[in-house]
Amino acid sequence: MGTYTCCLCFTRRFRSAEVQPPADVRAAFEAHTEGATHMNADQLRRFLNEAQGEATPDDADRIIEQTIQLRPRQPFLAILSKPALTVEDFYNYLFSEDLNPPVRSQVHQDMTAPLSHYYIYTGHNSYLTGNQLSSDCSDVPIIKALQDGVRVIELDMWPNSTKDDIDILHGRTLTSPVELIKCLRSIKEYAFTASPYPVIITLEDHLTPDLQAKVAQMVVETFGDMLYYPESESSNEFPSPEALKERIIISTKPPKEYLEAKNDKENNCDTQDVNESDDEAWGKEVPDVQTELESADKSSPPEYKSLITIRAGKPKGDLSDALKVDPDKLRRLSLSEKELAKAAASHGLDLVRFTQRNLLRIYPKGTRVNSSNYNPFVGWIHGAQMVAFNMQGYGRSLWLMHGFYKVNGGCGYVKKPEFLLKNEPNDGNFDPKAKFPVKKTLKVKVYMGDGWRVDFNQTHFDSYSPPDFYTRLGIAGVPSDTTMKKTKAIEDNWIPVWDEEFIFPLTVPELALLRIEVHEHDKSGKDDFAGQTCLPVSELRQGFRSVPLFDRKGMKFKSVRLLMRFEFE
């Protein structure tokens, strides 16, 4: 008796949608061409000025030339004729990220104010490749951070196993060390690849005086003229980012202050956070603290102390005292996210006043051993310049950080709003707890998306049918502005057309981010991630814009993008 094989074959349904310009795009084209079939340079110039808010739309001819090059093939007669855009060309231009991005890409803010007037892109434990307990230490994440525009690199310094050199590692953990000199050389090589503005190295110092002297020698020999030395120990204000272009700055506790803090910790170890970034509670064994204290003034190398441009410290005793502004001294104060939450509840106005002249650094609480992050807005709204993040801790908090530092051309320095800089008498300073009236209204229209069919395998979202995409969008900012909404899901289509509008009243638009996420609806389980981005509201360009999306780690997809429109009232 013969045998046979029965093969069940499934036919996958993939809709081959013909991409059509949205009705609003067609209407804008017709309004500016007065019914003609092509848009010339003068008409495009008028569109850029009236609909897109471009003050000096002088590049209309260039846009037309570059848009025509996007055509799959150009008829011979079209090449000979005077360049002009069809409605399809016009749509392709609007949907091109290169030609029509959603935010400005140039440095445009005043860069001549003191450092304390800027938010500064800040990393936490910049040498870690993964979690806080057992991942490798390396210069690779330092290089990546600098390439991404991070301006503050944190290094934790410890004696190596033979006590004759310096390792960088997370103390009292299983993290494997990397040599300090390797980190310094990588910082020198990559410091200004993404931005010309200063790189600040925050050193967590767990060294003996002889090793501090060795650090001073390494730093001077490695950086040479790139290193910025303070002119004097006292100053009324920090230098500006402009004055410190392509310079390296060292920030740490002066030796005596470090040893005093270490002694305080050992006497009060039960009250310390398990991961205090300025004085690691997970530190390696160190020589006797009291012996070092007695000889600190005599043996601490003056050359090491002279390298410290920004003096660091942690609050001692009452927080009100720690936040007092000394007219003759500038400093950097560090608080954990938990300490910040307490300080914000009871000393909000003091925080704002302190950060008008001094630097405030916030770091993740010690229980974030998986390198997760926290809500950065608590720090930002109180004027904290250095909201330190684990740059390898991918997730929504880090997406906010990526979006926030798209401001000012992605240079890593963002000028703080004027309301955080005004030092008014009689408690007239900005009060983060106050409720504010609506200052600006943002209208966002989500037309459509495309590019998944290029960047993803056809079975990535669903094995047997096209995906069902929907968009979540909203505002991240002060609590009264924070909200999330979503579109309907468009079933079985790789090129979803939502055509939905959303309105966001904003009380503090200066600090608001527009959050955008696309997901694929899965009826039988968890929805699939399909892209995200965060855009600073203050940098949004009016009108129709192409919005590229990024993966979970913040890497931009090659093709995935949304067509959106932004309007302000």
Distances (CA, A) of 25 to 74, 86, 227, 328, 541: 23, 12, 53, 59, 17
Residue 318: predicted pLDDT: 87
Domains along the chain?
23-94 (1.10.238), 115-419 (3.20.20.190), 440-568 (2.60.40.150)
Residues 6+ apart with CB under 8 A from 169: 127, 137, 156, 158, 175, 176, 177, 178
- C-beta separation of 41 from 60 below 8 A: yes
Residue 258: predicted pLDDT: 57
Instruction: Please list, residue by residue across 168-191, b when 16 or more beta carbons sit within 10 angstroms of its beta carbon and e when fewer do.
Output: bbbbebebebbbbbebbebbbebb
Measured in whole angstroms, the distance separating CA 122 from the mean position of its chain's CA atoms is 9
Which helix (H) or strand (E) covers residue 400, if one does? Answer: helix 396-404
Residue 303: predicted pLDDT: 85
Number of H helices, E strands in the chain: 16, 19
Q: Which residue of the set 117, 170, 382, 519 is catalytic?
A: 170
Residues 6+ apart with CB under 8 A from 138: 127, 129, 178
As a whole number of angstroms, the distance between CA 531 and CA 286 comes to: 47
Q: Terminal CA-to-CA distance of the chain, rounded, Å?
A: 81
Residue 525: predicted pLDDT: 83
Distances (CA, A) of 37 to 22, 50, 66, 429, 544: 17, 20, 19, 57, 20
Q: Which residue of the set 32, 124, 382, 402 is catalytic?
A: 124
Q: Which two tokens stand for residue 343?
A: 């300080």
Residue 499: predicted pLDDT: 98
- C-beta separation of 384 from 116 below 8 A: no
Which pLDDT tens digits describe the chain residue by residue (569 residues)? 444 444 444 434 444 456 789 999 999 999 999 989 999 999 999 999 999 998 766 689 999 999 999 887 665 545 546 789 999 999 999 999 999 999 999 999 999 999 999 999 999 999 999 999 999 999 999 999 999 999 999 999 999 999 999 999 999 999 999 999 999 999 999 999 999 999 999 999 999 999 999 999 999 999 999 999 877 666 789 999 999 999 999 999 988 765 565 566 555 543 334 334 443 332 233 334 334 434 444 446 678 999 999 999 877 788 889 999 998 899 999 999 999 999 999 999 999 999 999 999 999 999 999 999 999 999 999 999 999 999 999 999 999 999 999 999 999 999 999 999 988 765 567 888 888 999 999 999 999 999 999 999 999 999 889 999 999 999 999 999 999 999 999 999 999 999 999 999 999 999 999 999 999 999 888 999 999 999 999 999 999 999 999 999 999 999 999 999 999 99
Residue 19: predicted pLDDT: 79
38 catalytic, yes or no?
Answer: no
φ, ψ of residue 123 to 5 degrees: the values are -100, 155
Task: Give ∠ CA 32-36-40 in degrees, rounded to 5.
Answer: 60
Residue 422: predicted pLDDT: 87
521 catalytic, yes or no?
Answer: no
Is the pTM higher than 0.95? The answer reads: no
Residue 174: predicted pLDDT: 96
Strands 248-252 and 199-205 come out as parallel
φ, ψ of residue 61 to 5 degrees: the values are -60, -40
